[in-house]
């Protein structure tokens, strides 16, 4: 018995050496992602980014000495489930939540949190709120991204625009921002010659393609995301549309485009983000942020990050920064106020400044236009920031 007691005491001493008393508990940050369902191509990539940020954050001290841990719930790309999961987080009294992944789920959650909290950082650029809302939106506004696309094609001499959008939240936002951009003075020379719609579940859009082909358009803006984008590409090839197609940044997925490689139109462009021209960027804090982004993702096995990896990167880093500065037990209001006044923060697409009240930190110069290069299986920048010609 004495030997057993000595052995037990020795084991306890070793355990104390390995895990010292008072070791900090993880700091849980709740996240809603679309790990399954139509938005899974986004959610799965965002999950890898969270894995990389968790490692990067904990290597630099975590959140005030506590290791951060992202608690991810799968909303299955369902607005109804996203609302249920959000209500459960509100019941727990969390001060901040990250996500959901895309337009429909973010818009479903928005009415619950925007006025009272918790702070919500949507992982999509299609949500538009203004201060003092508790909802922030990730990345460059869809309005600014669409404007960059119009600017690019206008400077190439193309004036007649056609629009193809889905009937879901993504398409509705796209149609709204495209019409707003067309009404701007700088686009006075442009004309919208056709508008076509289809539902995300449609497997053929042959009729819409024929009408676009006959419209006299010089290019088509296809504001769709995910599976419906494959329907657009196949429809364009099958109908021999023969027009340049511009789509939104929600489709900046290498995996998705590789899957669609057998039916990619000749001229396919995307609204993209400044980090994609990382190799052309000059020295400074933004290039340093880009370098950290690529390096951290490489450590978790993502050697060629794309738009889906970037969609939640800066948003999550801003949230971590707020949690580090707002005190040990911050309220939603303290976190909202901190982010709303944050400026000079180096993101992967530029220096972020939230003081304009637009709840996202970026302007249109954080976006650019890229094309899909079939040979290299990569997105290649074709414009300067803001969509201006090189």
Confidence category of residue 24, pLDDT binned at 50, 70, 90: confident
> What is the per-residue pLDDT across 287-337, written as a single tens digit (0 to 9) for each?
999 999 999 999 999 999 999 999 999 999 999 999 999 888 899 999 999
> What is the per-residue pLDDT across 192-210, written as a single tens digit (0 to 9) for each?
999 999 999 999 999 999 9
Cβ 162 vs Cβ 219: under 8 Å: yes
Cis peptide before 263 (omega within 30 of 0): no
Cα–Cα separations (whole angstroms), residue 10 to 21, 155, 196, 331 = 16, 76, 75, 44
- Distance separating alpha carbons of residues 196 and 211, to the nearest angstrom: 8
Helix, strand or coil, per DSSP, at residue 11 = helix
Average pLDDT of the segment spanning 126-130: 93
Confidence category of residue 279, pLDDT binned at 50, 70, 90: confident
Helix, strand or coil, per DSSP, at residue 124 = coil
Secondary structure (DSSP) of 352-368: EE-TTSSSS---GGGEE
Cβ 233 vs Cβ 263: under 8 Å: yes
* Conformational region of residue 194, where left means phi above 0, alpha means psi within -120 to 50, and beta covers everything else: beta
Nearest to 323 by CA among 116, 69, 74, 92: 69
Higher pLDDT: 255 or 208? It is 208
> What is the per-residue pLDDT across 211-225, written as a single tens digit (0 to 9) for each?
999 999 999 999 999
Q: Where are the alpha helices (DSSP H) in 28-72?
A: 40-59
Torsion of CA 326, 331, 336, 337, to 10 degrees: -60
Average pLDDT of the segment spanning 338-350: 97
Cβ 21 vs Cβ 261: under 8 Å: no
Residue 42 has pLDDT above 60, yes or no: yes
What's domain 143-277+368-387's superfamily in CATH?
Response regulator (3.40.50.2300)
Q: Chain-wide mean pLDDT for the chain? A: 91
pLDDT of residue 390: 87
Confidence category of residue 47, pLDDT binned at 50, 70, 90: very high
pLDDT of residue 46: 96
pLDDT of residue 6: 35
Would the CATH topology of 28-141+285-362 be identical to that of 143-277+368-387?
yes
**91 Cβ contact list (under 8 Å, min separation 6):** none
Nearest to 307 by CA among 45, 88, 122: 45
Q: Where are the domains of the chain?
A: 28-141+285-362, 143-277+368-387
The model carries a pTM of 0.89
- DSSP letter assigned to residue 389: B
Confidence category of residue 16, pLDDT binned at 50, 70, 90: very low
pLDDT of residue 23: 54
9-23, 52-66, 150-164, 243-257: the lowest-pLDDT one: 9-23
- Distance separating alpha carbons of residues 315 and 348, to the nearest angstrom: 11
Higher pLDDT: 37 or 279? It is 37
| Domain spanning 28-141+285-362, CATH class | alpha beta
Average pLDDT of the segment spanning 160-178: 96
């Amino acid at each position: 018995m004495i030997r057993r007691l000595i052995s037990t005491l020795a084991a306890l001493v070793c355990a104390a050496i390995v895990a010292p008393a008072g070791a900090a508990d993880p700091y849980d940050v709740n996240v809603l992602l679309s790990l399954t369902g139509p938005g899974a191509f986004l959610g799965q990539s965002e999950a890898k980014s969270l894995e990389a940020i968790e490692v990067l954050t904990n290597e630099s001290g975590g959140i005030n000495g506590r290791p951060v841990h992202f608690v991810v719930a799968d909303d299955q790309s369902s607005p109804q489930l996203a609302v249920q999961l959000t209500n459960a987080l509100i019941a727990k009294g969390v001060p901040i939540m990250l996500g959901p992944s895309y337009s429909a789920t973010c818009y479903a959650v928005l009415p619950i949190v925007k006025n009272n909290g918790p702070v919500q950082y949507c992982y999509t650029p299609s949500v538009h709120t203004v201060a003092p809302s508790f909802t922030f939106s990730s990345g460059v506004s869809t309005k600014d991204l669409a404007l960059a696309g119009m600017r690019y094609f206008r400077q190439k001499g193309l004036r007649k625009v056609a629009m193809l959008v889905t009937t879901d939240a993504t398409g509705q936002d796209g149609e709204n921002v495209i019409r707003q951009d067309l009404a701007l003075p700088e686009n006075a020379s442009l004309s919208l010659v056709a508008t076509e719609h289809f539902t995300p579940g449609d497997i053929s859009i042959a009729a819409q393609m024929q009408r676009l082909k006959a419209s006299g358009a010089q290019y088509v803006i296809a504001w769709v995301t995910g599976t419906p984008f494959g329907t657009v590409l196949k429809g364009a090839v099958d109908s021999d549309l023969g027009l340049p197609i511009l789509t939104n940044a929600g489709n900046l997925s290498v995996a998705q485009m590789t899957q669609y490689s057998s039916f990619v139109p000749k001229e396919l462009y995307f609204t993209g983000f400044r980090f994609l021209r990382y190799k052309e960027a000059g020295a400074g804090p933004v290039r340093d942020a880009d370098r950290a982004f690529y390096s951290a993702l490489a450590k978790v096995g993502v050697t060629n990050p794309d738009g889906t990896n970037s969609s939640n990167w800066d948003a999550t880093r801003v949230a971590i920064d707020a949690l580090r500065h707002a005190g040990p037990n911050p309220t939603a209001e303290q976190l909202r106020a901190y982010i709303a006044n944050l400026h000079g923060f180096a993101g992967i697409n530029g220096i972020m400044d939230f003081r304009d009240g637009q709840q996202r930190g970026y302007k249109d110069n954080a976006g650019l236009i890229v094309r899909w290069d079939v040979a290299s299986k990569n997105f290649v920048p074709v414009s300067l920031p803001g969509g201006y010609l090189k």
